[in-house]
Chain A
Amino acid sequence: MNFREARGYQSRWENTGLPTGFSNFQFVDQHYGSDPVLRRIFSQARKHDYQSVLVEEVREADCALLAEENQALAVRSPDFQKAEVHRISFFRSSSDKAPRPEDFLGYAIFKWDHFGKESKPLACVFEAVMCPCRGVIQNNFIHCARRYEVNTTLGRFPVRGVLYAKQNNLTFVCAHAALRSALACVLPEGDISYARMNALAGIDHKSRCVGPVGDKTNGLSPQDLEKILDDLGVPYDKLIHEPKLVDPATGKPLIFPTEYQRELYGFIESGGPALLAFELDPRPGEPGEPSRHAVPAFGHTFNEDAWLPNAQRAYFGGAEAYYPSENWLSNFVIHDDNFGPYFCLPRHFLKQDNFRLMYGLKSAPTTFRATTAEAIGFNLCYIIAQTYPKRNQFWYDRFSVFARSGWLVLRTLLLRRDVYLADLEQMRDREGASLENDFCQRLRNVLPAYFWMVEIGAPELYATTRRKFGEILVAADKPAPPPFSPSLFLAARLPGLVLVNAGTGSLDVGPSQLRGHTPLFTSAKQPQACT
């Protein structure tokens, strides 16, 4: 029994609309010790113009998760006495009428842990799921948000969002909280307890503790994080940047060879969250290595008028002969357990110098990442454009010119076969033309369960109208190149032209009646509760 399902005991249901004079600041100051994370959560409810707040007490006897957390605290700190928990729910409707499902904006669990008789309780937001304030229409994209249901005294209500969690620095630390948020996006049950994570990592709060121990503060190592991910069977990629370490095989420092932001974008665009970890700037006088911190990253914003794509290539030595779609990204959307949910991390703020570690969680195992798939897709675009330079078709010929001139935009994501085929079957160009059924059927026969889709566009098509020339499909389960194996190429769909690799040693190439540009793939077609 988790905090969402546990029985609540209503202590207040208060109107909060601006005409009532309700003050978020005053409420959090009076009842929640001026907690800054809770103030952030209340401010997000205000952005949604919330009209009432419901506060319920959750008791240990009704919530196995609370009992489990308390038990861990008792082992970790023998002076632990008890915990008090409030479940705080936010509604668009006022307290004089029954809320409808669409009125629910989210909830937060606030927990006070009491130690000894004299000491002040430790208080924190244990978890929260709030509906994001910005959605697709504001160019904010969170593909891995989940739907949760909360069982309140006013009824059961749904909310779609990414679970936020904060460390208590005793039984779980920042890496726990970050990994919990990331795992909540991918695990079927939509959450994981700290007790389970600690059991998998071998943290028993006796022989091995996290948080402050003597004059040291213990955290989770990459090995611990991998143990948890491996035991849960969650596919992931690991990226390391440790410039102070040397690879014994080559004698070279372990400097990550590409920009970590492009890899992070690849995970997010494929619908996966990532755990992003970095080194803090050293504090004056602090002995030893600087501290490190981890946050979950799960979304991005998009700026269709970004200057960077052109400027990067023209002025700052960009070497690619295409535009990665990541060039139009402005911010990553993250939680930071220290500050609260749904912050924007500007793409160029967290420098490569500070980046240390990333785990990108995936929906299926792959033998290489999106950046490699994109490079393969780029190569294949060029080969196709060289082989078929001109077909006297308006949009194909423009694809070919943009490919041969180095002006394509490529966007790469990991897709499931049935999702791709469903998108393909309803796809139309502006003339209303669709793909031939027999091509869809052939793809159904040759495509594996998961593969990389490299979408191909031109800057003005991609950024302005969110459309594309077509796509190249690249195998995700073949050995990482080089050498190049033709089996990496699965199929291509371009304006008026389709290519399929049936594995016979040659590609089947044929015309198609779908000769125009088509919409980019978007997982945002799924209904979004809050946008």
Chain B
Amino acid sequence: MPDITESIEKLTASLQQLTAESTDESQTQTEPEPVTLPAGELKFSPGVEAFVRRNRDYDTATRSVSVGTY
């Protein structure tokens, strides 16, 4: 997780760059032709994979746990 100041600066700089580019160039709509994206390129980042694995494993471990009364 980047520092919040760094994160704000990154977002602000990116938006400023977008604004500058749209002012400099005429805002031409350069539509890409329809393309395909190999489904195999969809992969988990390590952080997301760890998160979903931890949730799944915990659910499996606690599925039959029955403790206390209400």
Apart from A397-B18, A407-B7, 19 more pairs, CB < 8 Å = A222-B66, A238-B62, A238-B63, A240-B65, A242-B65, A245-B65, A247-B62, A257-B54, A318-B1, A368-B52, A383-B43, A392-B27, A392-B28, A401-B14, A407-B11, A482-B44, A484-B42, A486-B40, A489-B42
Q: Are A173 and B70 in contact, with the CB atoms below 8 A?
A: yes
B29 at the interface (CB under 8 A from A): yes
Residue of A nearest to B35 (CB): A509
Q: B18-53: which have CB < 8 Å to A?
A: 18, 22, 25, 27-32, 34-45, 48-49, 51-53
Q: Per-residue 0/1 for A318-336: is the Cβ within 8 Å of any B Cβ (1 yes, 0 no)?
A: 1111000000000000000
Q: Per-residue 0/1 for A82-105: is the Cβ within 8 Å of any B Cβ (1 yes, 0 no)?
A: 000000000000000000000000
Q: Are A506 and B67 in contact, with the CB atoms below 8 A?
A: no
| Shortest distance from the beta carbon of A398 to any chain B beta carbon, whole Å | 7
Q: Are B56 and A250 in contact, with the CB atoms below 8 A?
A: no
Question: How many residues belonging to A are interface residues under a CB distance threshold of 8 Å?
Answer: 83
Chain B residues whose CB sits within 8 angstroms of the CB of A258 once the complex forms: 55
Q: How far is the CA of A320 from the CA of B47 in the complex (A)?
A: 10
Give the secondary structure class of A's interface: mixed
Question: How many residues belonging to B are interface residues under a CB distance threshold of 8 Å?
Answer: 48
Q: Are A480 and B34 in contact, with the CB atoms below 8 A?
A: no
| Shortest distance from the beta carbon of A267 to any chain B beta carbon, whole Å | 14
Q: Are B69 and A221 in contact, with the CB atoms below 8 A?
A: yes
| Shortest distance from the beta carbon of B63 to any chain A beta carbon, whole Å | 7
Closest 4 CB pairs of A and B: A219-B69, A486-B39, A314-B4, A175-B70
Q: How far is the CA of A99 from the CA of B66 in the complex (A)?
A: 49
Q: A328-368: which have CB < 8 Å to B?
A: 356-357, 368
> Interface of B with A (CB < 8 Å)?
1-2, 4, 7, 10-11, 14-15, 18, 22, 25, 27-32, 34-45, 48-49, 51-56, 58-59, 61-63, 65-70
Q: Out of B31, B51, B62, B68, name the residue touching A375 (CB < 8 Å).
A: B51
Q: How far is the CA of A379 from the CA of B11 in the complex (A)?
A: 19
Chain A residues whose CB sits within 8 angstroms of the CB of B11 once the complex forms: 401-402, 405, 407
Chain A residues whose CB sits within 8 angstroms of the CB of B7 once the complex forms: 313, 405-407
